Amino acid sequence: MDKQKGFLRYNPRTDRYAVDWRQTLSLAVGELLLDEILVARPYFRGRLLDVGCGKRPYSLIYDRLVDTSVGTEVSFSPHGTADADVLARAEALPFRDNSFDTVVCTEVLEHTQDPFRAIRELSRLLTRDGHLLLSVPFLYPVHEAPHDYWRLTPQGLEAMLQSAGLVALYVHPKGGPVATFVSLSANLAVRATNALSNGLRLSKPLAERTGIRWLLALPQWAYLWACRRSTACKRRSWVGKLELWMTPGYVVLAQRERAR
């Protein structure tokens, strides 16, 4: 039987994870981020902090790999606070220095009013050999307004990390131009569907109806199916510059800079 946390499902029999289309229609970017988190699993260890944990979907992945995990959220989170251990802003986390071996912060930095201060906090909490897994949107619509403040380039991310005493081991794009087109088109389709529902004054929005939701998800599934079978999608040496130029977002793995 599948296990589920928020939008993430896990099938123990096949050892497969998937983003649940019944919970979110950001399927393309969600699955691409999931792929990156699975790649980063070897760096999950010890005591882990999940900043902006929401419904804690990725605990299905990291709780099997770490000794203990702690989740934080803000009191006004649209995802609720039931799964958070601590309510605190990323810019002011109530933990001692060097208290976590791993910090995960996915799709949160754009919602902080002071991302530089937030990164300094994450750096402060890491042990000397600890790792930070960070993801941010780039070419992606405003969401969770009015708390959506920033978009950062790879150079901006690296500069921000460096200013906090962190060094980026890699910066990976979450797909390239096609993923950007698919993601933006899906977002536009969902917004148009919601506008139509409001115009018709429907008691149940169209996007919440199974058939319509399936149709909204179908192009994203088609893209993911094609991409995962394309050798070009798997060769970063070929797609790297193109994806860094136009992408829905970035995933960064960083570590504390060692003293010389």
pLDDT tens across 151-188, in order? 999 999 999 999 999 999 999 999 999 999 999 999 99
CB 127 within 8 A of CB 103: no
Q: Name the pTM for this structure.
A: 0.93
Q: Is residue 142 part of a domain?
A: yes
In this predicted model, what pLDDT tens digit does every residue of 35-47 receive, in sequence order?
Answer: 999 999 999 999 9
Whether pLDDT at 260 is above 90: no
| Overall number of domains in the chain | 1
Q: Is residue 113 part of a domain?
A: yes
Q: Is residue 215 part of a domain?
A: no
Q: Is residue 60 part of a domain?
A: yes
Average pLDDT for residues 113-140, to the nearest whole number? 97
Q: Is residue 200 part of a domain?
A: no
Q: How far apart are CA 79 and CA 156, in angstroms?
A: 28
Average pLDDT for residues 103-131, to the nearest whole number? 97
Q: Is residue 168 part of a domain?
A: yes
pLDDT level of residue 126 (50, 70, 90 thresholds)? very high
Q: Is residue 206 part of a domain?
A: no
b/e sequence 247-256, b meaning 16+ C-beta within 10 Å:
bbbbbbbbbb
Q: In 73-209, which residue ranges form alpha helices assigned H by DSSP?
A: 115-125, 154-163, 177-200
Average pLDDT for residues 117-139, to the nearest whole number? 97
How far the first Cα of the chain sits from its last, in Å, is 51
What is the CATH classification number for the domain harbouring 30?
Answer: 3.40.50.150
In this predicted model, what pLDDT tens digit does every residue of 3-31 receive, in sequence order?
Answer: 999 999 999 999 999 999 999 999 999 99
Whether pLDDT at 211 is above 80: yes
Residue-number span of the structural domain to which 117 is assigned:
3-176+236-256
Q: Given this model, what pLDDT does residue 228 score? A: 85
Q: What percent of the chain has pLDDT over 70?
A: 93
| Residue 209 φ then ψ, to 5° | -90, 130
Q: Is residue 150 part of a domain?
A: yes
CB 61 within 8 A of CB 84: no
